[in-house]
Amino acid sequence: MRIILASASPRRKELLEQIGLPFEVMTSHVEERISSARPDRVVEELSCQKAEAVAEEWDLSRLACPEGDREKGLLVIGADTVVALDGAILGKPVDREDAVTMLERLQGREHAVYTGVTLLYRAAGAPGWIRKCFHERSRVYFFPMTKAEIAEYVKTGDPMDKAGAYGIQGRCARYISGIEGDYNNVVGLPVGRLYQEIKELYHEKGSDF
C-alpha cells in the first residue's frame, strides 16, 4: 500500500509525519480551475484537481513499474487551504505589498480558514478510483497590529507562501488571540479528521488500516 501526498507544502509534510503515516510526496502540476466563489467548495475543488492530477500520472507510470508495485494499492491525498474574510477568499500574496494589504484587513478581526481534502483510493487490482472529499473550517482571531508590526512581519518573508499572508505556527503566533476549531487545519491539514476519514474508507472496503 502506497500513500502519496499531492502537495509540496512542507507544513503538510510535517503534519503527516507527526501522525506517523508512511508516505511519499508527488507534486501535482495542474492549472487550478474553480466554478464557485464559496470557500468550502473552492478548497474541495482544488484539492480534488491536485489529487486527480497525481492519480493520472500514477496510472500512466504504473505500466512501467515492476509487477509487485503494480499490484499495490494506492491512496492519494490532495489538499488546499484558503483564508476567507467577509466571504472573500484570500489566497497567497503575489508580492509584499499584497501581503501588507491582507494583514491590514485581518488585524484585529475574526476570519475563517478552510482546508479541503480529497482522498483517491485504488485497491490492488481494482479497475478504478474511489473518491472522498471533505473540508474543515476553523475560526482565527487576530489582535490589532500596528503598521510597523505588519511591515516587520512581512519583511521576514514568512507570509509570502501562505494563504492569507500569515503562518499561525511561526512568528505571527504573537498576534493570534485565539482559534475555534482544529489548529492543524489552520496550519494546512486537519490530520485528525484525515486519519478518521482514511480509516472509514478502508473499513467500508473491508480492509484494516
Whether the Cβ atoms of residue 103 and residue 152 lie closer than 8 Å to each other = no
Q: Which three cell numbers stand for residue 122?
A: 485504488
C-alpha cell at 61: 507510470
Cα-based torsion angle of the residue sequence 124, 126, 128, 130 in order, rounded to the nearest 10 degrees: -70
Most distant pair of Cα atoms in the chain: their distance: 60
Please give the Cα distance from 11 to 139 (Å, whole number): 19
Q: 195-198 — which CB contacts under 8 Å span 24+ positions?
A: 195/19, 195/21, 197/117, 197/119, 197/132, 197/134, 198/75, 198/119
Displacement of CA 127 from its chain's centroid (Å): 27
208 is catalytic: no
Catalytic residue from among 59, 69, 80, 158: 80
What is the phi/psi pair of residue 181, to 5°? 115, -160
CA dist., res. 113 & res. 90, Å (int): 10
Helix axes 96-106, 147-155, angle to 10 degrees: 140
Catalytic residues: 80
